[in-house]
Amino acid sequence: MEAAETETSLRAMETAHPLVSVVIAAYDEARYVGRCIESLHAQTYRPIEVIVVDDGSRDGTAEAVARFGGVRLLRQPHLGAGRARNEGARMAGGEILVFVDADMEFPPPFVARLVAPMLDDGAVGTFTREIMVANGDRRWARAHMLGRFLPADCHFPSGFPDRWENFRAIRRDAFWRVGGFDEVGHGEDVTVGRKIGVLAEVANGAVCYHHEPDGLVEIFRSARWLGRGERIREQPNAIRRYLPWKTLRRGIGLARHHRMPSLLVYRIVWDAGVLVGLLQGRGRAK
């Protein structure tokens, strides 16, 4: 009798909550995407669907995703994260869209806490400032945080505001009212917020974990991607900021401050990647 009542209660809870569609844009993420999906399948929130858009991966990402039941998989040429997320949103049936990265992992309450301000208070969308570093024990992952003047264990410094332009969760109708994400390379994740006219509200307690680049090749590629994007061009004199003598000055200062010589190496690799990306992006713009 108790088992039947429990099942009835769970079904009632599922029908009371709107469907949440979690969209994962993945490019060469075979290393992590399985863990990401497993953590989403363990969410306490119901009902939920998981959609993965393989954005032209070369490393077996799609094959890693195909091993999981109950995941919708879309494959496309490498068109960029913005387009991949939009394609996933077109497939989605949920009233609420959640956008995550394939190298992230989520404790079971994550989705429930992320959407709580939307269900309880009518928020258009939310973000979490509790994105923790999943691989902080790795030297270059730690350097990747400290080298960008961030805390070693979290993506956000203390005192970060309660509202921001980057939506992690958003109502489907609001998302499409502004046409979804713009494909601008790095920084596409804030384009919806800049068009929609309202800011995402913080979802307290929505803790998740992100794997940082933990090798110098990964760091260079990540930096080059940033440099190719349009968002960095909002900075005045962007190219000058990454000239070699400024890199050395920053790197030496960081290494001394943290007593971590590898930070000098990190800044050289990171700034070189950003500079290459900036030059490549400027060439395309012409």
Give pLDDT, residue 6: 38
Give pLDDT, residue 283: 52
Give pLDDT, residue 238: 87
Helices (H), the chain: 2-16, 33-41, 61-66, 81-91, 110-121, 139-146, 172-177, 191-196, 216-228, 238-241, 244-258, 262-285
**pTM score of the predicted model:** 0.91
Q: Which one, of 43, 203, 45, lies nearest residue 117 by Cα?
A: 203
pLDDT in tens, the chain (286 residues): 444 543 443 444 444 799 999 999 999 999 999 999 999 999 999 999 999 999 999 999 999 999 999 999 999 999 999 999 999 999 999 999 999 999 999 999 999 999 999 999 999 999 999 999 999 999 999 999 999 999 999 999 989 999 999 999 999 999 999 999 998 888 888 999 999 999 999 999 999 999 999 999 999 999 999 999 888 877 888 899 999 999 999 999 999 999 999 999 999 999 999 999 999 876 554 4
Q: Which one, of 60, 45, 214, 190, lies nearest residue 127 by Cα?
A: 190
Give pLDDT, residue 284: 53
Q: How far apart are CA 250 and CA 174, in angstroms?
A: 41
Give pLDDT, residue 88: 97
CA distances 273 to 32, 142, 269, Å, are: 23, 18, 6
Q: How do the domains of the chain map onto residue ranges? A: 2-210, 216-285
Give pLDDT, residue 13: 43
Kindly give the interhelix angle for 216-228 and 139-146, rounded to the nearest 10 degrees: 30
Q: What is the CATH code for 2-210?
A: 3.90.550.10
